Structure 1
Amino acid sequence: HMYGYGLKSMMLSMIETICKVTEGEGNIGLVNKIIELGQELLQRPVTLLNGVKEVLSAFQGKYKLVLATKGDLFDQQRKIANSGLQEYFTHIEIMSDKKKADYKKLLDKLECSPEKFLMIGNSIKSDIIPVLELGGYAAHVPHHVTWAYEQYEGKVEYRNFIQLNHIEDITNYL
């Protein structure tokens, strides 16, 4: 809650943990190792999930496509630029968090009513539930790796909820 989301926040948390665990007596080499690993991760290429580009191509021009993501501004901007997907979106929003109020603010900015908004995402907790609570539509695309913070144990029971196996399946709904 103090550092936000993203790799740099994780690095700060790891350094803070070293300080706490070692009562401030930790080897500076550990901090250097965290920085080294973080820099390596920040330079990794962006890997698109199968079907994403095809779905965006199919919907471009038919719908107003918006990319909504959360995390560190610079890191998210880098990922978006390196993804090669910016051309598909009419608006890109990098949020500090993805809660109901954040989506409400985004919808107000877009002048879009919740009933005309569909969120497609892999996190039930931050992509799906907040949008459904606003009265929008949300389609969940499961991913084999989901951050523990984003885990959601409950059952999603909303009329506007769509469960997908693959992102390409959304074409059956639109």
Structure 2
Amino acid sequence: MATLQSAIQGSDKSVAVIVPSRPDPLTITYKALLSEVSSFQAKLAALGVSQSAAISIAIVNSYEFIVSFLATSWQRAIAAPLNPAYKQDEFEFYIDDVKSAVVLVPRGAYQSGSPAVRAAKKFNAAIAECYWDPSRREIVLDVKCLGQLEGKDQQPVLKPKPDDVALVLHTR
């Protein structure tokens, strides 16, 4: 049986992801995608993310979303994507419901006190901004608040298993 990790295949030069943008779209090969997801997975493990931890992803559909979603599943954690346009009470409901260990938000959300950030603080979830840095050509995981992960040891980088829960999708 396959996992999200074993399902991604392609040659080193084959295009895996195209993110439309102006003036130039972001084009990512399978080799680059696999490398980026592995790197982000290691960042999650260093933060203390362990098996079955819920990671709420409150960012728009983007390369950052793809990488954080896949890296979460590779770390045997559970991705809980949230609509970044939710109001604070909606974020609170979902973050509390899955007991999010970490809430990923876009760059600038922490300083602006976005609804997702305020909700994450209420439930002591770690908060990290997640964004593409074109100069370094990598997805940054900028931890703003460790929350419940404060003092937690770095975790090993894990290999997903076919029976892992990789996604919690809420509907209302």
Which TM bucket (shorter chain)?
0.3 to 0.5
TM-score (norm 2): 0.41
Compare relative contact order (CA 8 Å, sep 6+) and give the higher one, 1 or 2.
2
**Greater share of residues in strand:** 2
The structure with the larger Rg is 1
